[in-house]
């Protein structure tokens, strides 16, 4: 299995699948664009590194994933299960309501009893089947010594069904079969809406672990031997070929190259690598072979330490208590107290008529059952999620909207977030056309990011340069009209370095500096401006060089910024802001942002982000435009107001309905209709968000 972080369209799917299918030994290749992965069925002698090289030649970045470390989810199965139970409950509710209306329209004696028994035949299997999610949750709550919202729900379902059977057997006038199935339907609807708003995403820590290179080439006794990472120990010597990711933490023994650290640190440009330099697992070796002395491998590597940071942050985020949970904590004990109080009062008032006391107690429990409360949040989240989805924002977590409404501080990453991580060559029109032609010819012989940007920006044909050779870690050289020409580092080209990001061209004794700028993501200026106007505190934290970060901060008028920030430092800064009372929105896209994304109060990542960053986020930005981020904060505030209004509607319903139930005036059909009316009102209020 390979990760495809840059795959984004149908053309990417066809390119990857056709290129891989042409590789000898590959039997099939299937791309999952949602997960940005390709599953390859191949012969045992086909190596992942060979497939990665083939995809790289086709313009598709790829990384090997260990499928054994990826968690499996049952989201689709659970969704189908809830939908099936919801359909059964709806069918039963319609039929039982028809029978109940017939009874309350005047059916008497044997006819009434027959309708009640038919209702029982429909309702009892339905309650047993459709109520399973609530029964399991209630039992788990009781075993943990808590009274969750599903406890009164389950008790109401059981009591309504039991008392209805008892009344039917005694030819009683009242039965609660209609209330039981209606209660099951509306609460299943709330549960299903809540489930659909959650991504049921895999753990970001597991995604990080799966990004580890599962094998490495060890040099032992003068021979190359491929070993699993678990069999590699500190002190071993490993070979890392050009284009491969570092499988371990280590120190370079031999070789010169350039290392891409963007996934781990956010640095937009590769770093020169030479003997004595330390490298980390997950970095990419670009231009030359390197041998490393292993300092840490497997669970001791920097990549695993980052995964541990993410795991800790994720567990902290799950402790957030939603509005519905907080309401349920107060609501559940109150419901039981009123029901038992009604039972005690009517036992005393009727001189021990247990039948009437139990009926009134059950009526109180049914009419106060949190049907509207159960829909209050899911209905709003579903409406708001649909509105944001139309603006290219995907809500992944059930409480993300509530947390987003509380945000007062926004932290941005730079590379790949505020910028597109693609440098743009600037000022080529100021250089002689011949110099641009030579630079283009040399750049075409390199895969360096600056070289690719130069080729894309040059508007002249490449010069005829011969003997082109890439010198790992320095640049590209060749001969043009008999003269040595070079494109690369300033010292290698004997040129004076300029401020900012640049590469240098040497033609004979002449020198030219070609500068580059970071390309802003569309909507970045609009989003930051809107957040400023909304009074949010904005910070820019990046692992990139100071000059590049300062330039972007200046263009976007971000006063608080910091360059050269390591992943752990970025997460620590977010945690410090939280500890100081802030509610932080983190926006990032790389491995270096994953721990910070998981630590933040709420987080957003672009769809182009690495799998681990996307999984750690609560919201995914589906397009390139960042402007919807500011809209998301405004819509989340509206959504939170709707949630509070829905709780108020639910409370108002209880203020009217509970006294009627307590005095014994709430008939079963009236209780069922009242529950239905309150649930529909809550849903309509939520739909105002659309």
Q: Whole-angstrom Cα distance, residue 560 to residue 582?
A: 15
Which residue in the block uniquely carries the two structure tokens 């032992």? Answer: 220
C-alpha closest to that of 177 among 230, 250, 115, 86 = 115
Phi, psi of 18 (to 5 degrees): -70, -40
Backbone angles phi, psi at 372, to 5 degrees: -65, -35
Q: Tokens 């672990």 map to which residue? A: 209
CA angle 406, 409, 415 (to 5 degrees): 125
HEC sequence for 401-422: HHHHCCCCEEEECHHHHHEEEE
DSSP-derived pairing of the beta strands 2-3 and 37-42: antiparallel
Residue among 134, 8, 3, 5 nearest 622 (CA): 8
For tokens 């910091």, what's the residue? 562
| Residue 687: DSSP 8-state | H
**DSSP line for 151-204:** HHHHHHHHHHHHHHHHHHHTT-S---HHHHHHHHHHHHHHHHHHHHH---PPPH
Query: Could you tell me the CA-to-CA distances from 406 to 4, 328, 583 in Å, in that order?
Result: 34, 21, 6
Report phi then psi at 499, rounded to 5: -70, 145
Number of residues that make up the chain:
690
Residues 575, 579, 580, CA angle at the centre, nearest 5°?
120
In the Cβ-directed half-sphere of 213, how many Cα atoms lie within 13 Å?
29
Q: CB-side exposure of 361: number of CA atoms within 13 Å? A: 23
CA 186, CA 122: separation in Å to the nearest integer? Answer: 17
CB 265 within 8 A of CB 567: yes
The Cα–Cα gap between 619 and 612 comes to 13
Task: Render 318-330 in DSSP notation, one character per residue.
Answer: TTPPPHHHHHHHH
Pairing of strands 2-3, 619-621: unpaired
Query: Is 413 an annotated catalytic residue?
Result: yes
Both tokens assigned to 538: 């904005």
Q: Which of 249, 260, 413, 518 is catalytic?
A: 413
Cα 26 versus chain centre, distance = 32
Burial class of residue 467 in the structure, from the number of CB atoms within 10 Å of its CB (0-12 exposed, 13-18 middle, 19+ buried): exposed
**Antiparallel, parallel or unpaired: β 483-488 and 501-507:** antiparallel
Instruction: Please report, in angstroms and rounded to a whole number, the separation of the first and last CA atoms in the chain.
Output: 40
Token pair of 365 as six digits: 């429990």
Going by C-alpha positions, the residue among 584, 543, 544 that lies closest to residue 566 is: 543
Q: How far apart are CA 229 and CA 214, in angstroms?
A: 6
Report phi then psi at 166, rounded to 5.
Answer: -60, -45
Closest by CA position to 505, among listed 445, 444, 436, 457: 436
Mind telling me the catalytic residues?
413
């Amino acid at each position: 299995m390979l990760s495809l972080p840059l795959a984004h369209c149908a053309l990417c799917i066809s390119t990857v699948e056709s290129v891989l299918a042409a590789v000898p030994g590959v039997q099939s290749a299937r791309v999952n664009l949602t997960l940005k992965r390709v599953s390859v069925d191949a012969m045992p002698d086909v190596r992942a590194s060979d497939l990665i090289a083939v995809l790289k030649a086709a313009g598709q970045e790829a990384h090997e994933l260990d499928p054994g470390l990826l968690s499996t989810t049952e989201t689709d199965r659970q969704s189908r299960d809830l939908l099936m139970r919801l359909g059964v409950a709806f069918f039963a509710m319609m039929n039982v309501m028809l029978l109940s209306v017939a009874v309350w329209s005047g059916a008497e004696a044997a006819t009434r009893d027959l309708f009640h028994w038919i209702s029982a035949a429909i309702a009892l299997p339905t309650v047993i089947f459709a109520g399973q999610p609530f029964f399991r949750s209630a039992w788990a709550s009781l075993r943990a010594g808590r009274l969750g919202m599903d406890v009164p729900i389950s008790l109401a379902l059981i009591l309504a069904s039991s008392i209805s059977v008892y009344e039917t057997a005694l030819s009683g006038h009242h039965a609660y079969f209609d209330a039981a199935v209606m209660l099951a339907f509306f609460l299943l609807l709330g549960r299903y809406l809540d489930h659909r708003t959650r991504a049921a995403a895999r753990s970001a820590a597991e995604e990080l672990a799966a990004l580890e290179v599962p094998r490495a080439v060890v040099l032992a006794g003068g021979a190359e031997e491929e070993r699993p990472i678990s069999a590699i120990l500190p002190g071993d010597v490993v070979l890392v070929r050009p284009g491969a990711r570092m499988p371990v933490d280590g120190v370079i023994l031999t070789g010169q190259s350039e290392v891409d650290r963007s996934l781990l640190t956010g640095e937009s440009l590769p770093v020169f690598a030479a003997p004595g330099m330390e490298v980390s697992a997950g970095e990419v070796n670009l231009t030359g072979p390197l041998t490393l002395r292993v300092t840490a491998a497997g669970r001791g590597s920097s990549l695993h330490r980052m995964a541990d940071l993410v795991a800790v942050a994720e567990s902290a985020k799950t402790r957030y208590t939603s509005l519905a949970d907080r309401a349920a904590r107060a609501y559940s004990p109150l419901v039981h107290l009123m029901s038992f109080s009604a039972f005690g009062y009517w036992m005393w008032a009727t001189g021990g008529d247990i039948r009437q006391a139990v009926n009134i107690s059950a009526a109180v429990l049914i009419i106060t059952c949190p049907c509207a409360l159960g829909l209050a949040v899911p209905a709003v989240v579903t409406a708001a999620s649909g509105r944001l989805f139309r603006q290219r924002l995907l809500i992944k977590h059930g409480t993300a909207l509530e947390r987003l409404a509380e945000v007062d501080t926004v932290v941005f990453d730079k590379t790949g977030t505020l910028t597109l991580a693609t440098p743009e060559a600037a000022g080529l029109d100021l250089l002689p056309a011949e110099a641009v032609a030579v630079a283009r010819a040399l750049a075409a012989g390199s895969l360096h990011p600056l070289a690719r940007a130069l080729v894309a920006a040059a508007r002249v044909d490449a010069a005829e340069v011969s003997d082109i050779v890439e010198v790992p870690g320095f640049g590209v050289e060749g001969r043009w009209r008999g003269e040595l020409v070079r494109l690369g580092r300033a010292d290698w080209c004997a040129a004076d370095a300029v401020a900012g990001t640049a590469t240098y061209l040497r033609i004979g004794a002449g020198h030219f500096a070609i500068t580059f700028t970071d390309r802003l993501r569309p909507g970045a200026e609009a989003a930051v401006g809107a957040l400023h106007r909304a009074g949010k505190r904005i910070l820019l934290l990046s692992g990139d060089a100071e000059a590049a970060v300062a330039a972007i901060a200046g263009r976007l008028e971000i006063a608080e910024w910091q360059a050269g920030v390591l992943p752990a430092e970025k997460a620590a800064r977010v945690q410090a802001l939280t500890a100081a009372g802030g509610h932080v929105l983190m926006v990032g896209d790389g491995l270096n942002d994953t721990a910070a994304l998981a630590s933040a109060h709420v987080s957003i990542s672009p769809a182009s982000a690495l799998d681990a960053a996307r999984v750690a986020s609560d919201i995914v930005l589906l397009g390139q435009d960042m402007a919807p981020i500011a809209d998301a904060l405004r819509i989340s505030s509206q959504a939170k107001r709707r949630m509070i209004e829905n709780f108020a509607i639910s409370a108002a319903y209880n203020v009217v309905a509970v006294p009627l139930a307590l005095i014994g005036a709430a008939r079963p059909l009236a209780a069922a209709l009242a529950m239905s009316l309150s649930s529909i009102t809550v849903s309509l209020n939520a739909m105002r968000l659309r």
